[in-house]
Structure 1
């Protein structure tokens, strides 16, 4: 069994980001991430996160928007990146955030692979398999390489922590995972739990075991407070009954597709099961080959056990709906969705360099499959010439529309957003189509409610639920808004809204209201703005 400890000076140089064995693969990884996820901004969740970040630094920006002005769950991310929005556009901020996040992930992955393999380009192989595995093998919709949001730098710090974990430098492990928790308390927090299990499995019975209670553990715990305290604050000021009701809205209604196992598609279980089976087979083959790998496998086992706990919690709603709703909010499947494909990537690389012919062939075969999947994803993204957060598939409307149709619709969306920005005061509030998530990004104006922008603090979540049921009642289907005079007058009084943007493909060519844009129908055949009756 291999567990040779390299001299500390050599280890330090190999983990230095400027060392050629780390720097060159890191740069290539960032380029790979750009090819894979370098879509036009905003990508999925970028409009969601950066709108909050801008309001964090400029509270008067969209101050009457329920979501933008609601509780700030990811304060560290907003502090680190949001200040840029005072000087540059949201799009530029998104690209800066992407590059920072990708660099952190690339650095962490390069350091981890350098700790495991002598081949300096091993991280490229691992990354390709990892990206394919996350996209096509996840259980609950997790992703890592994409647009900017709090979890991306958090995963970068998790990977750096794993690079230290395989070397048994536990002091540094806890510090890196604490930094991850500061950016995203769930990504980092679950990683701490998995690392604790890894410590128990790999250190507890060793004569030279590394102590658990170390300075690094307390430093990491202190860093995690920057993510934990804002998260706890979201539930303050409400009763226990209100907290449970908010949890039910979040877990059983709005985010159920990520949280509630009963809501997962059957194919998701199959694809994740395939990833788990292949990874488990690889671990069985290579388990005794290296203690470094054993420590990494132990961390992965922790991630899988956490997901298993999520399945148990997911079985509780029928018997204990209140408790289940509160527990499901913790995204039990997030870490497993990211780490199991990472382990698969490590195993594929291990197979490729193995001396046994059948293992090398298997490794190369899996790598080629992963390359094909990543290539297909890149092609699929580039064929639609609009930002991912505005394409029809994401918005759930006419998903099979041609690229030309989607480009034309997107142009019309930009036109109506720019009209709102240029023709109304900054304090204006709009009623907007349900199936959009970028109005604040382009128009920089508040909106009453939309599906994507759900607040996370309990009080605002109640208000979001009330508004959503009010503006988009179930009786009108999934995308329609009422055009009844009485309701529209009530909206004007209740929400301070004067204008309603409608999708003319949904509501028709003309409504019995005063249209203020476009004055000529041909100027914008997709969207129109009407003034609400007084």
Structure 2
């Protein structure tokens, strides 16, 4: 009815504003879904019973609802679009390559996805096709099926585009590939294909069980799910970092020392194994692998900082290299693992981590202006 369509448009616009990239795929899938169903006569040509219960919404009102979604989506889309157009094409391309092939390759580059991911999602895709054949085709099911189908099409297109550098190296298609992959073509299928398979299996079981057994089956499956999650949490306690319990305690102690014993404007280089340093220590980091910029110029600077760290500290933290690092970056402290070789005496250490003060090294040499 009109209220449901209005709320759908409202929340769709909010979703686009919240995450413009994923929202863009949602919008394309929604338009494609209703376009296909419209062409096949599945939207307006409902059964006489449905038409008597839910009167058809006027075309003008539907356009109004789509307009609401469009206006709300612009709130998030315009700032994101600004990041794409306010830099030179070459800078934008360099930043895109860093994002797609280095920083977020595990999300964006299908050539580095593990084989297990292809097997798992290939199985889900087969299940998806089978469910389309055997699940009773109610109107909500048709809409969901077409919507998820579009998401699968986007993901398959992303895989093809991701192979361009291997198939057409050095060509315009090679350069086009990262520019398209940066828009996360796999994100919707990642989430919705498993969801749709689970929903379809339940619909299939519900049809076999009948109305009387359905409620009992829901309670049984819910109990199994809750108990299973509880047992899993006991056997595999959730950790918000990759550290062991003792390492995490030492990390928090080191961050507490930093917060209490260093100046508020101190700059730190921290171990890649670190976790939420800015939150717990309330100090700035010279480089953070996880906290990468979103704009092209920022990504290029991020990559240059990472390259400097590789050049200087690939094997150990020697005094000479630390002096060079201090001169180039004006970093004040280094927080690394206790077992990492370093020529300086620690200013503070615990069982897992050590903090080194670079301020006592030679002052930076004045640079030519």
TM-score (norm: length of structure 1):
0.58
Listed as ranges, the matches of 1:348-367 within 5 Å are 348-355=201-208
Give 2:144's aligned residue: 296
Give 1:504's aligned residue: 338
Q: 1:441 to 1:334 in 2, by over 3 A?
A: same
SS for the counterpart of 2:347 is strand
Give 1:153's aligned residue: none
Q: 1:327 to 1:296 in 2, by over 3 A?
A: same
> Does structure 2 retain, via aligned residues, the 8 Å contact 1:385–1:407?
no
Q: 1:472 to 1:336 in 2, by over 3 A?
A: same
Give 1:312's aligned residue: 160
- Counterpart-to-counterpart distance in 1, 2:307 and 2:73: 36
Does 1:208 find its partner at 2:60? no
Match of 1:391 among 223, 238, 242: 242
> Does structure 2 retain, via aligned residues, the 8 Å contact 1:437–1:452?
no
Give 2:94's aligned residue: 245
Give 1:420's aligned residue: 258
Q: Which runs of 5+ in 1 are unaligned?
A: 1-7, 13-163, 393-405, 519-523
SS for the counterpart of 2:32 is helix
Give 1:17's aligned residue: none
> Does structure 1 retain, via aligned residues, the 8 Å contact 2:16–2:72?
yes
Does 1:195 find its partner at 2:30? yes
Q: 1:368 to 1:172 in 2, by over 3 A?
A: closer
Q: 1:291 to 1:278 in 2, by over 3 A?
A: same
> Does structure 1 retain, via aligned residues, the 8 Å contact 2:251–2:274?
no
Deviation at 1:474, TM superposition (A): 9.4
Q: 1:474 to 1:452 in 2, by over 3 A?
A: farther
- Counterpart-to-counterpart distance in 2, 1:380 and 1:226: 41
SS for the counterpart of 2:207 is coil
Deviates most, 326-335 or 346-355 = 346-355
Give 1:516's aligned residue: 347
Q: 1:387 to 1:445 in 2, by over 3 A?
A: farther
> Does structure 2 retain, via aligned residues, the 8 Å contact 1:317–1:325?
no
> Does structure 2 retain, via aligned residues, the 8 Å contact 1:316–1:324?
yes
Give 2:78's aligned residue: 229
Deviation at 1:368, TM superposition (A): 6.1
- Counterpart-to-counterpart distance in 1, 2:64 and 2:73: 14
> Does structure 2 retain, via aligned residues, the 8 Å contact 1:499–1:531?
yes
Give 2:280's aligned residue: 442
Match of 2:199 among 317, 329, 346: 346
- Counterpart-to-counterpart distance in 1, 2:223 and 2:86: 48
Aligned residues: 336
1:333-373 CA-to-partner distances (Å, cap 9, x unmatched) read 1101111122122212212321469xx99xx79x969957x
Match of 2:130 among 265, 278, 281: 281
- Counterpart-to-counterpart distance in 2, 1:490 and 1:350: 64
> Does structure 2 retain, via aligned residues, the 8 Å contact 1:431–1:499?
yes
Deviation at 1:451, TM superposition (A): 1.6
- Counterpart-to-counterpart distance in 1, 2:155 and 2:23: 15
Give 2:301's aligned residue: 463
SS for the counterpart of 1:529 is strand
Q: 1:474 to 1:499 in 2, by over 3 A?
A: closer
Q: 1:237 to 1:490 in 2, by over 3 A?
A: farther
Q: 1:528 to 1:385 in 2, by over 3 A?
A: farther
1:439-494 CA-to-partner distances (Å, cap 9, x unmatched) read 11211111111221111111110110000111134982xxx6x4133332232233
1:2-22 CA-to-partner distances (Å, cap 9, x unmatched) read xxxxxx6xx97xxxxxxxxxx
Q: 1:411 to 1:384 in 2, by over 3 A?
A: farther
Match of 1:454 among 270, 278, 292: 292
- Counterpart-to-counterpart distance in 2, 1:426 and 1:188: 39
Bigger Rg over Cα: 2
